[in-house]
Amino acid sequence: MSSPGYRPTPAAASQLNLRGAVDLSSLRRQAAPPAPPASVSADGGAPDGGDAGKAPLRVEATETNFQDLVQLSAQIPVLFLLWSRYAAESPAVLEAAERVVESYSGRLVLAAADVDAFPQLAQAFQVQAVPTAVAVIKGQPVPLFQGPADDEQIRNLVDELLKVAAANGVTGSIGDAAQDEDAEPEPVPPLHQAAIDAIEAGDYAGAASAYKQALLEQPADSDAKAGLAQVELMARLDKLSAPDAESLREQAAQEPDNVQAQLGVADLDISGGHIEDAFNRIITFIGRNFGPERETARVRLLELFEVVGTQDERVAKARQGLARVLF
């Protein structure tokens, strides 16, 4: 992996959003059972297993403690810095990120991920080049930057990140997280747990069945509705190989009124983080077509709204666009 030389900007910082399409559950099907929480120790010292000389707010991310870090993000933002010894910019960016994180007095944690040692971490975040920084809040990825960045640039992004975290109720600190480690987690509804177990086993059909049953029992279950939309997207993407995806894009370009081709490319765009492109593609199709295919596209668009998050500003904008072409 190499760096393309992209530098973060204030404009990029202002566009941070909580919801993403990265499947952070992917490692759970392959990693060993989780180690004890990979947060910082209760006395504010180095993470368990860390060297005494390491910064107290830096954790070495591995495939084993990945899910513990994702769970920690429900209390504190976790900044994953994916780096490689073969990328010349990596050491400087890692040091800068470490300095910045230290200056926030435990309001976030730096998770340094060596992609050479743990390539699955790069795959989980769909990283194409290093260094790359991706924060996680409440289990949702928030892309920050790719390529070189200095202290000031990282600090600007972290300031925006903490605003996003606060807006979503994530306002803890390291001390709070340590005190909460022994707290009993909220029980997961049985059907939701069945869906989670199925996802971990790669059984997307089973997960979808569990979520559908949950919705039959509780039609207002918003988590089940979002979960169903996400797992159905995962199932569709799971069937596409790289050559198939390229062929699908070519077909969509040649056949703008082919509903399945347009929806397939929209799925690919969502998975790659090109949310607005996916929404605009479907809205354009709806505006140009009528009959059952139009309704098929409208229903899929609503499902993708659930995947991205119905409170996301991009969803709100797309709803306006949908209303314009429908009415």
Q: Note whether residue 70 is domain-resident.
A: yes
Residue 176 binned pLDDT confidence (cut-offs 50, 70, 90)? low
Which tens digit of pLDDT belongs to each residue from 28-84?
Answer: 333 333 333 333 333 333 334 344 333 358 999 988 888 889 888 989 999 999 999
Q: Are 120 and 27 in contact (CB under 8 A)?
A: yes
Taking the chain, what is the end-to-end CA distance rounded to the nearest angstrom? 47
Q: Note whether residue 144 is domain-resident.
A: yes
Which tens digit of pLDDT belongs to each residue from 210-224?
Answer: 999 999 999 999 989
Same domain for 47 and 136? yes
Among 10-19, 189-198, 270-279, 286-295, the range scoring the smallest mean pLDDT is 10-19
Task: Give the pLDDT score at 10.
Answer: 34
Same domain for 135 and 245? no
Same domain for 29 and 176? yes
CA distances from 240 to 64, 193, 235, 268, 281 (A): 28, 27, 9, 9, 19
Task: Give the pLDDT score at 182.
Answer: 52
Q: Are 109 and 158 in contact (CB under 8 A)?
A: no
Same domain for 14 and 106? yes
Q: How many structural domains comprise the chain? A: 2
Q: Note whether residue 188 is domain-resident.
A: no
Q: Note whether residue 5 is domain-resident.
A: no
Same domain for 69 and 149? yes
- CATH number, domain of 26, equals 3.40.30.10
- CATH number, domain of 297, equals 1.25.40
Residue 317 above 90 pLDDT?
yes
Q: Note whether residue 198 is domain-resident.
A: no
Task: Give the pLDDT score at 54.
Answer: 38
Same domain for 113 and 261? no
Check residues 177 and 144 and name the one with the higher pLDDT.
144
Q: Whole domain around residue 146: which residue ranges?
A: 10-180
> Which of 180, 199, 219 marks a domain boundary?
180
Q: Note whether residue 301 is domain-resident.
A: yes
Same domain for 52 and 163? yes
Q: Note whether residue 208 is domain-resident.
A: no
Residue 13 above 60 pLDDT?
no
Same domain for 246 and 155? no
Among 5-9, 86-90, 275-279, the range scoring the smallest mean pLDDT is 5-9
> Which of 180, 207, 231 marks a domain boundary?
180
Entry pTM = 0.51
Same domain for 258 and 138? no
Task: Give the pLDDT score at 214.
Answer: 94
Same domain for 273 and 133? no
Mean pLDDT of the region 246-255: 94
Q: Note whether residue 210 is domain-resident.
A: no
The chain-wide mean pLDDT, for the chain, equals 81
Half-sphere exposure of 62 (CA within 13 A, CB side): 14
Residue 120 binned pLDDT confidence (cut-offs 50, 70, 90)? confident
CA distance linking residue 86 with residue 83, whole number of Å: 9
Residue 185 binned pLDDT confidence (cut-offs 50, 70, 90)? low
Same domain for 149 and 27? yes
Q: What radius of gyration, in Å, describes the C-alpha atoms of the chain?
A: 21
Other residues' Cβ atoms within 10 Å of the Cβ of residue 124: 24
Residue 305 above 80 pLDDT?
yes
